[in-house]
Amino acid sequence: MEAASGLKTRSFAVIKSFNFFVYGAIAIYSSFFPLYLKEVGVPSLQIGMLLAGGPFIAILANPFWGYWSDRWRNIKLVLIVLLIGNAVVMQSVFLGVTGTLLFVLMLVYFFFQSPLFSQSSSLILDTIEHTGRRFGEFRVWGSLGWAMMAAAAGPILSFLGIERFWVVYSVLMLIAIAIAFVLPRGKPRPKADVQRGGYMRIFANRQFVAFLVISVLISVPNGMNLTFMPIYISDLGGKEGLVGLAAFLTSIFEIPVFLLFDRLLPKNNRTMILCLAVVSLLYAGRWLLMSLATSPYEVVGIQVLNGVTFGGYYYIGTQLTFKLVPMEYRASGQALYALSWGGLSGIIAGIAGGWVFQNLGAVAMYQFGSILALMGLAGFLGVFALMKRSASADMNLDEK
């Protein structure tokens, strides 16, 4: 009994460490890679199109790796493959390739990178089920890694030069790969029925389908901000250190949000949908404030709101997906959720956001984002009203 308890405690610690370094590596990529591309002479529109190509591949990559995770019933193996592929392809990118070859390599990179978060979330949820542990307790380590590594990378890259950003990224990826080899495999689940269209059961719940569609609306402006916020700061006169500080503030306030939701969020579907409506309203306010910013310091300060907007949306959406999708398809369900905020929305964010940013400016881009968030708010309120009406109808039938 004690040996089993010790093994479980060790597995929990390994998962926390893994999240810290994986999220830290992706934070550095997200915060500084657009600046690297700008440094080597890539125009803003091309940067948007280049980064939009990756989310296009994510449309295939997330379901593909979710399928094999469910089929193999071994999330650890999938994560190892993803990390090694990620590291190898990115080293090729940093050799200084340009043009078509750079675009192709980024497509391959996103094939390995885009499913990392959804699969790591699936591993957490599998491992902690029926243990009394909570999702936020583990996910906060990802936020902590994102915040600390991005903040530390700013001064380091100011000293080394943005062209040497590959050094920091590569070190973190090697550490993450090493930790991945000692991750738990994941809790055994019923074998997914890959025959006779068994995966279509994922879409049987109309609430889940509506949630995915609305998630695209909410996530487009979030993707635009992730891609162009570093350039926005730079255009307003900010340096690499401010970009790192923005990334730190973007993530560090997710930690109290996750911990509070662990304790306070009711795990029923209708309440979670209503909470997503509130988060959508806060998103609209956040993008409006970004459109009004006049200095890089204002842009950095507004990133504090990411904790309750993206942090709240990510936490609630992950829990809602876990509840709405059948057990044997949970990895695929998380992959589809990731696809809604990192695949389809990423394509729109990169192409439309790049065009608006280059031709109309950052102010127009963030105003557009505020409108999309309000559309998402209306969508969630509609779903909540339908769920409430359905619950009332069921209650009336029971009374009869």
Residue 397: per-residue pLDDT: 45
Residue 278: per-residue pLDDT: 94
Residue 325: per-residue pLDDT: 78
Residue 100: per-residue pLDDT: 78
Say whether domain 1-186 belongs to CATH 1.20.1250.20.
Answer: yes
Residue 2: per-residue pLDDT: 47
Cβ atoms within 10 Å, residue 265: 17
Q: HSE, CB side, 13 Å, CA atoms: give it for residue 189.
A: 26
Burial 115-126 (b: 16+ CB within 10 A, else e): bbbbbbbbbbbb
Q: What is the spatial distance between Cα 45 and Cα 357, in angstroms, rounded to a whole number?
A: 8
Residue 164: per-residue pLDDT: 79
Which candidate, 64, 61, 383, 378, places its Cα nearest to that of 205?
383
When pLDDT is cut at 50, 70 and 90, the band that residue 1 belongs to is very low
When pLDDT is cut at 50, 70 and 90, the band that residue 343 belongs to is low
User: Does 198 score more than 80 pLDDT?
Assistant: no
> Quick one: how far is CA 132 from the chain centroid?
25
When pLDDT is cut at 50, 70 and 90, the band that residue 6 belongs to is low
Q: Calculate the dihedral angle through the C-alpha atoms of 155, 160, 164, 165, rounding to the nearest 10 degrees.
A: -10
pLDDT tens per residue, range 69-111 = 777 778 888 899 999 998 888 888 777 666 778 788 888 888 8
Q: What is the spatial distance between Cα 327 and Cα 323, in angstroms, rounded to a whole number?
A: 9
Average pLDDT over residues 164-187: 84
Residue 197: per-residue pLDDT: 52
Which of 231 and 378 is assigned the larger pLDDT? 378
Residues in contact with 118: Cβ distance below 8 Å, sequence separation at least 6, in sequence order: 62, 66, 331, 334, 335, 337, 338
Which of 290 and 44 is assigned the larger pLDDT? 290
Which candidate, 338, 389, 359, 71, places its Cα nearest to that of 219?
338
Kindly state the tokens that stand for 168.
């920091």
Cβ atoms within 10 Å, residue 21: 24
Kindly state the tokens that stand for 197.
């269209």
How many residues can be counted in the chain? 400
The reply to whether 1-186 and 201-390 are identical in fold is yes
Average pLDDT over residues 252-258: 83
For the ranges 24-28, 160-164, 294-298, 315-319, which has the lowest average pLDDT? 160-164
E strands present in the chain: none
Residue whose token pair is 């389908």: 209
pTM: 0.70
Which candidate, 215, 379, 219, places its Cα nearest to that of 287?
219
Q: What is the mean pLDDT of the chain?
A: 81
Rg, C-alpha atoms of the chain: 21
Each as own residue / partner, the long-range contacts of residues 383-392 (CB below 8 Å, 24 or more positions apart, any chain) are 383/207, 383/210, 383/211, 383/214, 383/273, 384/270, 384/273, 384/274, 384/277, 387/207, 387/269, 387/270, 387/273, 388/270, 391/270
Helix axes 254-264 and 135-160, enclosed angle (nearest 10): 180
Q: What is the spatial distance between Cα 6 and Cα 337, in angstroms, rounded to a whole number?
A: 33
Which of 291 and 65 is assigned the larger pLDDT? 291
Q: What is the spatial distance between Cα 164 and Cα 23, in angstroms, rounded to a whole number?
A: 20
User: Does 14 score more than 80 pLDDT?
Assistant: yes
Domain ranges of the chain: 1-186, 201-390
Average pLDDT over residues 174-178: 92
Residues 300 and 290 sit within 8 Å (Cβ to Cβ):
no
Q: What is the spatial distance between Cα 286 and Cα 376, in angstroms, rounded to a whole number?
A: 14
Residue 84: per-residue pLDDT: 93
pLDDT tens per residue, range 270-308 = 889 999 999 999 999 999 999 998 888 998 889 888 888
Average pLDDT over residues 2-19: 74
Residues 11 and 187 sit within 8 Å (Cβ to Cβ):
no
CATH of domain 201-390: 1.20.1250.20
User: Does 215 score more than 70 pLDDT?
Assistant: yes
